[in-house]
Amino acid sequence: MPEVFLSMSMSLDGFIAAENRSPEHPLGENGMRLHNWLFHEQTQVDGEVARQLFSETGAVIVGWRTYIDAIHDGWGSKNPYGVPVFVVCRRTPSERDQIGGFNFVTSGIADALALARTSAGDKKIWLQGGANVAQQFLRDGLLDELHIHLAPILLGKGLRLFDQLGKTVELEAIDALRTPGATHLKFRVRR
- By CB under 8 A, name the binding residues for its own copies: 12-14, 30, 138, 146, 148, 150, 152-157, 160-162, 164-173, 175-180, 182-183, 185, 187
Least distance to its own copies from the beta carbon of 164, Å? 7
Which residue, 123 or 160, is less far from its own copies as judged by CB?
160
Q: Specify the 3-state DSSP secondary structure of 42.
A: coil
What Cα–Cα distance (Å) separates residue 71 from each residue in 27, 65, 99, 105? 12, 9, 9, 17
Least distance to its own copies from the beta carbon of 147, Å? 12
Which residue, 75 or 162, is less far from its own copies as judged by CB?
162
Which residue, 103 or 136, is less far from its own copies as judged by CB?
136
CB 29 within 8 A of CB 100: no
DSSP state of 53: H
Least distance to its own copies from the beta carbon of 148, Å? 7
CB 58 within 8 A of CB 122: yes
Closest residue by Cα to residue 50 from 182, 153, 138: 182
Q: Which amino acid is at 147?
A: H
Return the number of other C-beta atoms located less than 10 Å from residue 124's C-beta.
Answer: 20
Which residue, 12 or 114, is less far from its own copies as judged by CB?
12
Least distance to its own copies from the beta carbon of 50, Å? 18
Which residue, 97 or 172, is less far from its own copies as judged by CB?
172
- Tell me how far apart the alpha carbons of residues 117 and 6 are, in angstroms, rounded to a whole number: 15
Least distance to its own copies from the beta carbon of 131, Å? 11
